[in-house]
């Protein structure tokens, strides 16, 4: 007998394209005659039994919407054995035989615990702007976040050039420099600082001063939030170069807005792929896309330290300046 009912939840930081992923889950399940229970507010809604059946129609007109119709949260209670036990009881009481967890690395760890320690089949769908999960070229939301950050950089550039100043612009990404790197490359920034690569502030200031002597007075330095404290960096640059320096945090605007075509398509494909895996009896897996093909890895592999080599892109930012 095949699986009859699954649950779907979104967890951790919201990401544009999560709704497209929910739609992918519900529509593929509907085609396979599997009932879908929407679990609201992530693991916290699971523990509190905030559950509602999602019909084929209930996901109409959400593909173009940012955020998540299921809402999301961070749930410290689910980190405890008691919280997990309660979650399992609720799943059993609602006859939910497997769960699609759409979220980032923390949410994946939660799904891994449910699969491994409590024997609840779980499949992870990568929903985070940070692009910090293994087993996929991109996570749902990262493309939209880069576009949003880029739009802001283009605007900042106007004032940077007009007033000939230095701007330090902080972008999100937690411990990953992906958003920073892509935004720097696309925005033509002069420098990018990311957590994965060590940098030397006095060397950077020398470059700025040398440039100034040659007539270059405008700089945009993109800083990943996990790399350095932005306000302190801006102050230090100001002190060492004696050039007027401003600091801007782009913040949560990067999490909002209309998802790009890429994120909608990725969401739909991966939501559907997750249901397909559960229907085939798989558990403790994460779905992704590598070279445009669906790719499956263990949840543990997906959450291991993120493997990417930013060195070539970093050199390119400097060469193209």
**Is residue 130 a contact residue for ligand F6P (CB under 6 A)?**
yes
Contact string (CB under 6 A) for ligand F6P, positions 20-59, x = contact: ----------------------------------------
The stretch near ligand F6P (CB under 6 A) out of 58-66, 122-130, 214-222, 257-265 is 122-130
DSSP 140: B
**Is residue 284 a contact residue for ligand ADP (CB under 6 A)?**
no
**Is residue 54 a contact residue for ligand ADP (CB under 6 A)?**
no
Q: Which is nearer to ligand F6P, 179 or 278 (CB)?
A: 179
Q: Which is nearer to ligand F6P, 111 or 272 (CB)?
A: 111
Q: Which residue is nearest to ligand ADP (CB)?
A: 106
Rounded distance, CA 38 to CA 30, Å? 13
**Of 128, 142, 254, 260, the one binding ligand ADP by CB under 6 A:** 128
DSSP 127: B
Task: Scan for tokens 């916290």, then name that residue.
Answer: 44
Rounded distance, CA 307 to CA 134, Å? 7
Longest dimension (CA), the chain: 75
Rounded distance, CA 224 to CA 299, Å? 26
Q: How many residues does the chain have?
A: 321
- Can 130 be counted among the known catalytic residues? yes
Residue 24 CB, nearest distance to ligand ADP (Å)?
19
Rounded distance, CA 47 to CA 50, Å? 8
Residue 66 CB, nearest distance to ligand ADP (Å)?
16
Number of Cβ atoms within 10 Å of the Cβ of 96? 23
Cβ atoms of 270 and 288 closer than 8 Å: yes
Rounded distance, CA 43 to CA 46, Å? 5
Q: Which is nearer to ligand F6P, 249 or 294 (CB)?
A: 249
Contact string (CB under 6 A) for ligand F6P, positions 249-288, x = contact: ------x---------------------------------
By a kind-dependent CB cut-off of 5 to 8 A, residue 272 interacts, out of ligand F6P, ligand ADP, none, with: none
**Is residue 133 a contact residue for ligand F6P (CB under 6 A)?**
no
Cα dihedral 207, 318, 223, 203 sign: negative
Number of Cβ atoms within 10 Å of the Cβ of 42? 27
**Of 17, 66, 173, 288, the one binding ligand F6P by CB under 6 A:** 173
Catalytic positions are 130
């Amino acid at each position: 007998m095949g699986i009859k009912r699954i649950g779907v939840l979104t967890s951790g930081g919201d990401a544009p394209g999560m709704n497209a992923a929910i739609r992918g889950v519900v529509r593929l399940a509907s085609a396979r005659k599997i009932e879908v229970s929407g679990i609201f507010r992530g693991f916290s809604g699971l523990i509190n039994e905030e559950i509602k059946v999602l019909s084929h129609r209930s996901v109409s007109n959400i593909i173009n919407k940012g955020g998540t119709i299921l809402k999301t949260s961070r749930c410290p209670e689910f980190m405890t054995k008691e919280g997990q036990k309660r979650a399992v009881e609720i799943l059993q009481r609602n006859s939910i035989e497997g769960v699609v967890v759409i979220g980032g690395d923390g949410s994946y760890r939660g799904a891994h615990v449910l699969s491994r320690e409590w024997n609840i089949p779980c499949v992870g769908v990568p929903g985070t702007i940070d692009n910090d999960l293994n087993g996929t070229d991109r996570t749902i939301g990262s493309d939209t976040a880069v576009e949003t950050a880029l739009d802001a950089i283009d605007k900042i550039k106007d004032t940077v050039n007009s007033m000939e100043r230095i701007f330090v612009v902080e972008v999100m990404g937690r411990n990953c420099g992906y958003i920073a790197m892509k935004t720097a490359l696309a925005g033509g920034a002069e420098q990018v600082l990311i957590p994965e690569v060590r940098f030397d502030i006095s060397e950077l200031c020398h470059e700025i001063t040398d440039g100034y002597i040659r007539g270059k007075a405008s700089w945009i330095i993109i800083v990943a939030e996990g790399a350095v404290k932005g306000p302190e960096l801006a102050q230090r640059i100001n002190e060492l170069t004696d050039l007027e320096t401003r600091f801007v945090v782009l913040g949560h605007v990067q999490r909002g807005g209309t998802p790009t075509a890429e994120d909608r398509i990725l969401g739909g494909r991966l939501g559907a792929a997750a249901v397909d895996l559960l229907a085939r009896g798989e558990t403790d897996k994460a779905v992704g896309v590598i070279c445009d093909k669906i790719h499956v890895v263990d949840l543990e592999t997906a959450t291991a330290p993120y493997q990417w080599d930013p060195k070539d892109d970093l050199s390119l930012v400097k060469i193209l300046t």
